[in-house]
Amino acid sequence: MVVFLLRRVKLLLLLLRWTPVSAQGGTVTVPLTAPASAPPLSRSLVSFSLEQDRWGDWIGQGAGNAFFLNTLNNLKQLTGEPARIRIGADSEDRTNFNPSVQLSESEFPAISTILPYPEATENVVGANFYLLASKLPPGTQVTWGVNFGQNNITAAFLEATAIVNAFTSAAFRESNITLEAIEIGNEADLYTSNGARNSSFNVQQYVSQWTTFANNVTAAANHILGTNVPLQGAAFAGSSHSSTAGFSPQAIFQNGILSSPAGSQIKLISQHHYSGSFCTGTNGILQDLMSKANIRGNLTSYSADIAAVRQKGLTYVFGETNSIACHGAPGVSNTAGAALWGLDYALFAGQLGITRLYFHQGIGYKYNFIQPATLTNSILDGSTLSQALSPHIQPLYYAAVVATEAIGPSGSTTIVELTLNNAQISGYAVLEGNVLVRAVFINLNAFTTGTRGSVHLTLDFFGYGKQPVSFVVKRLFIPTANATQGVTWGGQTYETQDGKVSGVLSTMTVPVSQGLNINDTEAVLLTFS
């Protein structure tokens, strides 16, 4: 009875503390231990895919592009493992090799309002192009794509040879920069629509032609490496999710892709995913991207594919992903609200069994985490800027920082999604060696103007283990969902000249009994001790 009354009083006090716009977050139950089914989380869950036409600008000359390398080193410092890098994408299938080319020679189409920074139509690269990867942070694992789209096996052979020659050279060995895999072709399921193959190209022909290329590429690469080179398979733009129709991991398995000697070198299966498209200039709405239900809908549609891949003992990755296809939508992909999308998307994907997400980046793309080069045209419409923009991060970079900090350096992290009584708040428990250590909560309500809403959450724990009595809260402050700058993480900013963090860290220790408020368009990381 006394307990009951005390609870009533506590509830009353809580009610009094609420502002009029507070919504009920309710009590969230946090597990102290993880279920055996919780998949381990890679320290490089958030990784990057780079459009290879301007790889030279990303990595830079001399000692390298300090801004880009600093942004990668920030993440490496949080977990000890650098973000992995996939280099390829559309321009992977438009690249040829010529030993007499110094670095790369590319032809770019005219810019447009939809694509202010279009991909090159043709690239010719020399050996240095690949050798530049030795400047990545020590320990970086790289996946590189070779040309399958142009159906020129000599191009694929020369590229694969140059890649493996680079990764076996002294500079790479000294920096421990390794070739995680070679990918043969990008989004082959689109070849019939982009002219790379005629209308009769289907998954059976894909498997047969890919196998011919893979036999050649692996013969060359295995010989230089002295061991079998791992391959990354599929890299499709979409999925039929079926073993009997269209392009999907299930369909290529059904057609025997793993049974050839070269196919047996597939260690990872990659699929590509975007939640919408700006290819015809249709913008979309930020709140639709920042939707808990949409994020879950987009990712769970891959559940059967993930299961089919893991059942074969292979690693499943999103080898290319981001918010909206065709480089992002203005006012959506480049905003601070998109950082919350990215954070929830990555963590939800991680607990679904997607081992790694390579967020796609190109120089001047709207959905970038990192803009590593000086820009003279607007990323939004291509207009000439009155003042050039120096290298800078975009708000999505904070998704990488927060996710990576939540995962931490243990190497034994698992996450469990929490059930919340609110359609727009997501939450995750983070466990290390099966002990609750942290939690992440994300309020996906898009705040732009007017009164900012908030929710109050009360934490309850279940399972075996010590019940925390307090936690340290670190907040991702976002001015407004549509802001493109001014985000801070624990009071600190990465919006700096050199891409390194600046400012004084600010966190707060809160008794569990007090619970916490989370403003609309805010994420928090709780650390339990």
Ligand X SMILES: *[C@@H]1O[C@H](CO)[C@@H](O)[C@H](O)[C@H]1NC(C)=O
Is residue 139 a contact point for ligand X (CB under 6 A)? yes
Across the chain, how many H-helices and E-strands are there? 14, 25
In this structure, what DSSP letter does residue 412 have?
A: -
Q: How far is the CB of 384 from ligand X (least distance, A)?
A: 21
Q: Does residue 97 interact with ligand X by CB under 6 A?
A: yes
Residue 331 CA: distances (Å) to CA of 278, 322, 404, 447:
12, 15, 25, 14
Q: Is 440 helix (H, G, I), strand (E, B) or coil?
A: strand
Burial of residue 150 (CB within 10 Å: 0-12, 13-18, 19+) is middle
Q: Can residue 475 be called a binding residue for ligand X (CB under 6 A)?
A: yes
Q: Considering the rule CB under 6 A, would residue 482 count as an interface residue with ligand X? A: yes
Nearer to ligand X, 140 or 414 (CB): 140
448 binds ligand X (CB under 6 A): yes
Smaller CB separation from ligand X, 111 or 241: 241
In the numeric block, which tokens belong to residue 255? 């057609």
User: Binding residue for ligand X (CB under 6 A) from 216, 240, 287, 458?
Assistant: 216
Q: Does 334 bind ligand X (CB under 6 A)?
A: no
Would you count residue 297 as binding ligand X (CB under 6 A)? Answer: yes
Within residues 147-166, the interface with ligand X by CB under 6 A covers: 152-155, 157-158
Q: Which is nearer to ligand X, 57 or 288 (CB)?
A: 288
Q: Is 510 in the site for ligand X (CB under 6 A)?
A: no
With CB under 6 A as the contact rule, the residue among 186, 298, 355, 443 that binds ligand X is: 298
Q: Does 31 bind ligand X (CB under 6 A)?
A: no
Give every CB contact of residue 289 below 8 A, 6+ residues apart in sequence: 275, 276, 323, 324, 332, 333, 337, 338, 341
Task: Examine residue 33 and tell whether it contacts ligand X (CB under 6 A).
Answer: no
**Alpha-carbon span 315 to 425, nearest angstrom:** 30
Region binding ligand X by CB under 6 A among candidate stretches 28-36, 379-387, 397-405, 478-486: 478-486
Q: Any contact of residue 480 with ligand X (CB under 6 A)?
A: yes
Among 22, 29, 73, 96, binds ligand X (CB under 6 A): 96
Cβ–Cβ under 8 Å, residues 235 and 183: yes
Which residue is listed with tokens 């001399």?
Answer: 62
Report the residue from 477, 489, 494, 528 that binds ligand X according to the rule CB under 6 A.
Answer: 477
Nearer to ligand X (CB atom), residue 54 or residue 94: 94
Strand pairing class (46-51; 22-31): unpaired
CA-derived radius of gyration, the chain? 24
* Minimal CB distance residue for ligand X: 297
By CB under 6 A, residue 321 contacts ligand X: no
Q: Which of 24, 204, 301, 502 binds ligand X (CB under 6 A)?
A: 301
Closest CA to 184 of 218, 133, 225, 136: 218
Piece of 33-41, 290-298, 347-355, 432-440 that binds ligand X (CB under 6 A): 290-298
Q: Which residues in the 173-202 window bind ligand X by CB under 6 A?
A: 176, 178, 198-200
| Nearest approach, Cβ of residue 199 and ligand X (Å) | 5
Residue type, 285: I
Report which residue type is found at 434.
N
For 236-254, give one letter per residue: b (16+ CB within 10 A) or e.
bbebbbebeebbbbbbbbb
Neighbours of 449 (CB within 10 A): 7
Which residues would be at the binding site for ligand X (CB under 6 A)? 96-97, 139, 141, 152-155, 157-158, 176, 178, 198-200, 216, 219, 275-276, 288-289, 294, 297-298, 301, 448-449, 452, 454, 475, 477, 480, 482-483, 519
